[in-house]
Structure 1
């Protein structure tokens, strides 16, 4: 194992052009969590390139040449002997021992309880980050975002290979049952669905226990492949399901549900803004902190918005909503309402706002 560590220590790190993310690393020790293809490795490698070559060691723990028992016996002494101050354990797993170094960086889909590591959550690109990958920002950028989604690597994949590229990436990191659950959730994007309902559907096509499905569903949620939105005032009610990235829709199904895709895209922007949100009947997103309701209405006009306002007027009164924002593809406008300030805002303007 010392021979492999020596090889890794001497190997130069190279990355293609790095686009700045909203997360950054400094001299602290971090645990960087995120699903596959979010850019964890590139974020870490870009940081290492700013350090003295002899001061760090980068290890991809999925390297098939690594014998983990042997690694645990030799890694600490190797770091001490070579005066390594920064150690990176990419694709970390719990069977690898932590060694004493000045700075430790671990990357994983799963969050581990290390009190001495500052946790960072890296999501796929939001719309603002996505624009950094575009050659130019014009009216085509939003349509491009719909096609590629938020995985940075998709910018380098040709259009005819994108679905298979994502499928391969998922197969490399998820179990078969996790993939089946994810496919089903993709078909149910932005709809109310419970783990029990998923079990009832999948048990007809494969042999699976309820406990196994529930644990796999919980794992997908904890990693961040699936997100759930709670109903306001009803924590035990069935939750709405959203995907980690809109690109999974075309990669895992042939169904076209643009309105649901649009709603999922709005949800992801809210998720990355760390704003608490809830749903209700006819209410896509309720934000208590700002007394605001957000509606996904990609092709709305004033007539459609007026009818929608009539349908949700009781909710607006009950929760004293000050603002209603209808997110559209391109329509802008305002309408008068006695209870709330009502506005139609295109997605790209809304996503780039405060």
Structure 2
């Protein structure tokens, strides 16, 4: 095992052009969590390249040459002899024992309860981070965001290869049952659906137990591949479901519904900003701490918007909503309403301003 550790120690790390993320690593010890291709490894390697080469050791625990029993026997002494200050365990496996170093960084899709490590959760790019990859900041950037989604790697993939790239990426990262659940979720993005309904649909096309479906569904939520949104003041009501990135919708489903895709885009921006939000009947997102309602209308028709506002007026009045923001693709204006301020804001302005 010492020979393999020596190889890891001497290997030069390579990071192609790195774009700064809003999440940063400092001198603390962390576990970095996030879905596949969210940028966890690039973030960690870029941090290491700012350190003295002899002071760190990077180990990808998915390397099949690693014998965990031998690694646990050798790692502590190797770090001591070579004066390793920073140790990174990428694709961490729980059976690997921690050693005494100044800084430990664990990278994993799944969050583990590890008291000695602070948690950094890395999502795919938000819109502001995405712009760092663009050559110009105009309306074409938003259209590009819609087409590519938020995986940074998609900028390097040819247009005719993107669908299969995402499919293969997910098949490698997920079990067959998890993959089937994500495919089904892609058909129901921005809609209310329960795990039981998913079970009823999937059992007709594959052999699966209810317990297995439920456990796989919960694990996908824990990993961050799918997200749920609770109904305001109705915790037991069926939750709405969203994907970790809108590119999965195109890659896994032939059904077209841009309004639901757009709502998923807005949800992910709210998720990354850590805003407390809920849905309600007729209301896409309610942010109680901001006294704000968000409505997702990519192509706004003001006459229909007035009817929509009339239908949710009881909620606006009883909850004393001060702000209604209608998020569009490109329209910007304000309209008069007797109870709350109503602004129509393009997605790119809203996302960057928030």
TM tier, shorter chain? over 0.9
SS in 1 for 2:279: strand
The CA deviation at 1:164 is 1.2
Asked whether 1:233 is paired with 2:233, we answer yes
The CA deviation at 1:136 is 1.6
- Find the aligned partners of 1:93 and 1:295 in 2 and give their Cα distance: 42
Structure 1 partner of 2:219? 219
Structure-1-length-normalised TM-score: 0.99
Structure 2 partner of 1:11? 11
Structure 2 partner of 1:285? 285
The CA deviation at 1:301 is 2.8
- Find the aligned partners of 2:332 and 2:304 in 1 and give their Cα distance: 13
- Find the aligned partners of 1:69 and 1:172 in 2 and give their Cα distance: 26
SS in 1 for 2:192: coil
1:94-142 C-alpha deviation (Å, 9 max, x unpaired) = 1111111110011101001111111000000000000011112121000
The CA deviation at 1:304 is 2.2
- Find the aligned partners of 1:313 and 1:116 in 2 and give their Cα distance: 49
1:23-49 C-alpha deviation (Å, 9 max, x unpaired) = 011111011000000000000000000
Structure 1 partner of 2:341? 341
- Superposed, 1:257-296 pairs within 5 Å as 257-296=257-296
1:2-32 C-alpha deviation (Å, 9 max, x unpaired) = 1111011001011100000000111110110
Report if aligned partners of 1:301, 1:331 keep a CA contact under 8 Å in 2: no
Mark the runs of 5 or more structure 1 residues left unpaired by the alignment. Answer: none
SS in 2 for 1:132: helix
- Superposed, 1:247-258 pairs within 5 Å as 247-258=247-258
- Find the aligned partners of 1:139 and 1:174 in 2 and give their Cα distance: 35
Structure 2 partner of 1:305? 305
Structure 1 partner of 2:320? 320
Structure 2 partner of 1:23? 23
The CA deviation at 1:196 is 0.3
The CA deviation at 1:257 is 1.0
Report if aligned partners of 1:242, 1:264 keep a CA contact under 8 Å in 2: yes
- Find the aligned partners of 2:162 and 2:61 in 1 and give their Cα distance: 26
- Superposed, 1:1-354 pairs within 5 Å as 1-354=1-354
- Find the aligned partners of 1:4 and 1:257 in 2 and give their Cα distance: 51
The CA deviation at 1:171 is 1.4
Number of aligned positions between the proteins: 354
The CA deviation at 1:66 is 1.0
- Find the aligned partners of 2:96 and 2:52 in 1 and give their Cα distance: 25
1:60-101 C-alpha deviation (Å, 9 max, x unpaired) = 111111111111111111111111010000010111111111
Mark the runs of 5 or more structure 2 residues left unpaired by the alignment. Answer: none
The CA deviation at 1:183 is 0.4
The CA deviation at 1:58 is 0.4
Structure-2-length-normalised TM-score: 0.99
SS in 1 for 2:133: coil
The CA deviation at 1:302 is 2.0
Q: Over the residues paired in the alignment, what is the CA RMSD in angstroms? A: 0.7
- Find the aligned partners of 1:168 and 1:55 in 2 and give their Cα distance: 36
